[in-house]
Amino acid sequence: MKLAGKTDVGRVRQDNQDDYRAGELPGDAAWALVCDGMGGARGGREASQCACSVIERCFQEQYSQCIPGEEETFLKKALLSANRYVFQKALREESLAGMGTTAVCALVRGGKAYLSHAGDSRAYLYRDGKLAQLTHDHSYVQELVDCGTITQEQAEHHPQKNIITRALGVDYRLEPEFTTVALQAGDVLLLCTDGLTNAVPTEQLEQLLRSGSFYDLPDVLIRTANENGGPDNITALLVGVEPMEVRHG
């Protein structure tokens, strides 16, 4: 398993409210997490960092008890723990009222990727030169697409694209979404914030992923987003599934 990630403030914002974490796990497994904070400069930064720290601690302290078949329960519990922590912190500190964060978290093991998320930060599968979106945006605009009010093309430029309908920390209740996908050798998972996907079209992302070497890709993706205007914070985190002969040879 290979991991590579980077975050950048972009060309417009004053503060970076994104955060990410990742790590290797026993048994040739790995985990990855991307968060995009909201609620003012301090609130957004605090929310994303706190959520990342809580979820990272869940992997450090509780992953050893996550037996096969319990991946969904484990991931959702980690996101719910982060939700509760951020929500309670916002209640205690007036200056942080209303803060929250998106989260997309992946656990990769046993030939599968297990994903849980809340918000519009995304996970993609890159395979054979093509990107497939694995997560479903929790956003007002996505709801308009789902009910047929607007097209996917219209959604790309909708003025209310930034309104999200689910996030960590804004309510004591949260329903994280879960999905899973079988992996093949050579696959790459891309976890990212909307600062990347809003600035770099899918076709350009595919071209960049085809042409770059794995460990250079976060730099390449972020540089391209900034060249395209960099209107928001940008985070790109990649998990590479290596062929058996590379892993053991």
Share of the chain above pLDDT 70, in %: 93
d(CA 247, CA 226): 34
- Is the model more confident about 241 or about 140? 241
If 0-12 CB within 10 Å is exposed, 13-18 middle and 19+ buried, where does residue 72 land? middle
Q: How confident is the model at residue 149 (pLDDT cuts 50, 70, 90)?
A: confident
pLDDT value at residue 180: 98
What 3 state SS string does 111-156 have? CEEEEEEECCCEEEEEECCEEEECCCCCEHHHHHHHCCCCCHHHHC
What mean pLDDT is predicted for residues 218-244?
94
Torsion, Cα 51 48 126 111, to 10 degrees, reads -10
- CA-based nearest residue to 8, from 209, 208, 222: 222
Residue 249, pLDDT above cutoff 60 = no
Global pTM reads 0.93
d(CA 10, CA 229): 8
Residue 1, pLDDT above cutoff 70 = yes
Share of the chain above pLDDT 90, in %: 84
Q: How confident is the model at residue 146 (pLDDT cuts 50, 70, 90)?
A: confident
Residue 130, pLDDT above cutoff 70 = yes
What mean pLDDT is predicted for residues 102-125?
97
d(CA 67, CA 82): 21
Question: Which CATH code for domain 2-243?
Answer: 3.60.40.10
Domain segments of the chain: what residues? 2-243
d(CA 146, CA 226): 30
